[in-house]
Structure 1
């Protein structure tokens, strides 16, 4: 239960703080091939969005992400802790391969139960917001229209790449974080909580490693959840094929800068806040 509460609170906080970078990343991934760098850069996207919709435009789809992030982080940490406990060796330690396996399980679980619906809604809201006259008037209205036009299955657009991305995300992030945490703790502080600054630094490094290793899956996921995805791509493999043949290999790393900014911050924020909340909950439980 502590993992559920701490994960949910840390996820919601991280989602709100870092949302503008997620908005810019998603918008940049929708840019057509051949668009001049000067018109598709993160700075230009921010300027054009503010010009059309004001500062609030950078938070289009934010509610979906914050709610989804809270649920995602809660499911992620709860499932990771569950997998981790079942994979501990006879000495009570979690080796890197077993941490990787626990991360894969946690990522798959969160993709099915939390990430795909919230990411689908968020992505469609951002895609719609780039027009001068958006159709969606907010989270509730947008979700209602998506379900009305595509059914409940419309909330699961891009399920396969989301599962692949989240499984890879969690596997890389948790393994990197756990390995670095064990290295920092050494033999002098096993099992003890780290200071927030150190947790933040380790979490940030884990976020950076995660970005570069999983970016292609994130691009495919975004394209598959766009408003016109059904008319453009038959499936995730066809989407990847078209991106590669029509736009080039480097297109799979489009949006790396804003995603790097978000995940390096999010990794630090989530792990640091999670460790602190778990500490507070532990004190209440022991009181």
Structure 2
């Protein structure tokens, strides 16, 4: 689509060169990502709760219940609010991790992308996504997921036996009892999972978006949602084993494993390879919704921030003209 392929050089007949890929500003990426992450975390939390409960059941040797059985039992015992046990930890963590993820990914993209087009090669996109995932895993996901896992596990007990009352008191109690290491249990598998998640998810979405916008057009919210959902499906099936190992290492029974590799081999030997995909259905539901929601909100938040910036600049210019 370059002008070199046209037969005429007149303005009316010449084709426009390929549009340069949008380059997000770091602050906008952080704000838009954090907002998208918070909304997505709250909207999809019940599926995360169900997935974690299913993995706990398998780890304890019990017959794994189905998603609907978990929902029915939880609502019957604690009401609808029971499906949101540990929600505050995930929502707060989701906001931070999404902000860090998009900030890291967009910053790395800016550093390694083609200077002329702003495009990334596939290997560079995967590397950028993996590094962004490592950053969000270390700074946001590991502590928030460790706390969320404990709160969900604690929420299964009768009220009189529960150790934690909420996000803040629960976090403080874990740190008092186990030190800062208590909320960083499973750091290595969490970083590995997030690195793999982001590499697959962001690369899949970026590839689909590049194909959809290669002619310079903008995508609508529905199209963005579907691309994000597709990225979520691919991510679930490729990275589920990391999620299972992470959950095992962050549970109260994590002492039976000596580390990530030992957890992986133990589960493989004792429970078989299919156990690594236990909890796939609720996680698949969550990441389909998550991918669609987070990318749609992120793109719209970026557009809104760009619009507000332009309006602010126009106001400053207008005031300048008036004052002059």
1:141 paired with 2:169, answer yes
Aligned to 1:196: 221
Displacement after TM superposition at 1:276 (Å): 0.3
- Paired with 1:140 and 1:169, the residues of 2 have a C-alpha distance of 28
- In structure 1, the residue matched to 2:318 is none
Q: How many residue pairs end up in the alignment?
A: 281
The question of 1:179 aligning with 2:204 is answered: no
5 Å-filtered alignment, 1:197-212, equals 197-212=222-237
Aligned-partner Cα distance in 2 for 1:286–1:188:
21
Q: Could you tell me how far apart the structure 2 residues matched to 1:147 and 1:20 are?
A: 26
Distance (Å, rounded) in 2 between the aligned partners of 1:32 and 1:188: 49
What's the CA shift string for 1:208-242, capped at 9, x where partnerless? 00000000000000000001212x11111111111
**Contact 2:35–2:95 (8 Å) recurs in 1:** yes
Tell me whether 1:118 sits opposite 2:144 in the alignment: yes
Q: Residues 126-174 of structure 1: CA distance to partner in whole angstroms, max 9, x if unpaired? A: 1111222322111112111100110011110000100100000000001
The separation in 2 between residues aligned to 1:255 and 1:31, in whole angstroms, is: 10
Are positions 1:2 and 2:28 aligned together?
yes
The answer on 1:153 being equivalent to 2:177 is: no
Offset of residue 118 of structure 1? 0.3
Match status 1:251 vs 2:275? yes
Q: Which moved more, 1:178-187 or 1:53-62?
A: 178-187
Counterpart-to-counterpart distance in 2, 1:260 and 1:134 = 30
TM-score by length of 2: 0.85
* Mapping of residues 39-188 of structure 1, within 5 Å: 40-91=65-116, 92-132=118-158, 133-188=161-216
| Counterparts of 2:145 and 2:257, CA distance in 1 | 18
Aligned with residue 56 of structure 2, among 13, 30, 41:
30
CA contact (8 A) 1:128 1:227 kept: no
Distance 1:85 1:20 in 2: 36
1:270 alignment partner, one of 286, 290, 294: 294
Post-superposition CA distance 1:250-285 (Å, at most 9, x none):
000010000000001000000000000000000111
Structure 1, unpaired ranges of 5+: none
In structure 2, runs of 5+ residues without a counterpart are: 1-26, 312-324
Given the alignment of the two structures, is residue 235 of structure 1 paired with residue 259 of structure 2, yes or no?
yes
Give the match's secondary structure for 1:31: helix
